[in-house]
Structure 1
């Protein structure tokens, strides 16, 4: 399947950038909130595949009515972008989550997350190889700062556990993450951001459902209560939070922010998901971040600032020179 991407130049003025940055951070926070709620389900007996499928499937059902209303009279957009939606749903929604959950079965969560977020580097390489946007020194510096920050935030050096198969799964998740940012940045489709997100969620849920039916992905659910933040809650509370906040809102706002920011800047802003994950783990699970993790967070933010500075200082193409040939007179009416 071949999908050609056309990317909009990222927002360069504060009027366009600041609101988009806020939406991107909200999306990262929503994605980052998933950890404690997913953990409570897994500890209650849910399989990873079942938790992910419920999260994506319910989110798709919630967004679908709104998306259908937005598409009314423009159904041709679905036919024209069928390949894009299938790629987005299978690779950027379903595959990335399946690959990550498969990776953490043989890798520590820190190592798996670090490898997955190398997808941001893959975005830079894609823009270089496919669109000729060679990374400049501030982007390279941003990559170095962000990767160093992730190493500290995830405490990889303190508990590294490496397995070859797990590494391959984690790198597969990195490819899926890169696809998420690259495909979300497309603005030549005519699809509203919410329709794009909904289409991806629908396709992703169907793909996971089929994988579960054929036995590729184990599907185990339970109606047992879950323990979260010192409270005993019914199972539907974390399922609803994962579906409405960490999927429906996260994907819809993520696509909305990525289009004006561009895939590169949005990818680096997306790294803050790890910081929000630490914050929610502290608030809901009592897992207090270490000082070295806070330092890592500062480095991640510094990497985002470096990439944004590179975007602002990138040389712009000059306006075309005015033609010296006089315009032909208009024909008589």
Structure 2
């Protein structure tokens, strides 16, 4: 990495504002956390001047011609509404600049539906990419040469980095900073931005609780939060049914219908999801088993292998964690 590195965020009328401000805030915070200007952020549009987002917020932008394509270290194109995406993909000036910039940049990519622009410009042929969950099927049909990951928060495929919807651009840019400046700086940024956690790319766009809440009726919404808050405790059907004020048999049937999983399967899903986060920290497998409600380390390991196909230890190695 050449310091300071030029980070270009390519925008257009109709952009999703958080696709721009989230990543820009991460790179600015990285400069503060590192104590030097590691990144110089440029908000670029075809002609420069004011750009109106789909929320009505107006951004002042630099023209593409003001930043030589060959000087860009990282270039990301953001997402936006259908009209804006269509217009920018038809702009030959933008296409020429983006193709040249991506050829010489250390890395390039997109945030949210910006993946459609990369695909239209022929910059991600044969690549695995992410985009907003609502657009994954359309992107895959329109560009069958892509491998669209419908679940990942963000995907790294060689020099190409693509993120899913909106706030996942923050997660991806934190990963970029961690790659450049180390985890200490990235963690400091996450703390400064008051993020709940640094989310890894393999994590689903929806947490198990959020996905369940989207499916379940109001009768179980409070129970889902309660389960998560008591994940280390005994959570069998009898206890959950009592909490819900139902008979065990009726509860099991109604819960499975509402959530799409049996109570036991859902509880295990939450426990393993939490375990994946703990594996990235310096937490022993024995302690993880206790914190996630498994009877012992062996039971935890067996469930983890059954669900993910790898042991907890190997998962930790693959994803760069530490600990015993």
Shorter-chain TM-score: which interval?
Answer: under 0.3
Structure number having the greater strand percentage: 2
Structure number having the greater helix percentage: 1
When the two structures are superposed, what TM-score results if normalisation uses the length of structure 1? 0.24
When the two structures are superposed, what TM-score results if normalisation uses the length of structure 2? 0.24
Q: Which has the higher contact order (CA 8 A, sep 6+)?
A: 1
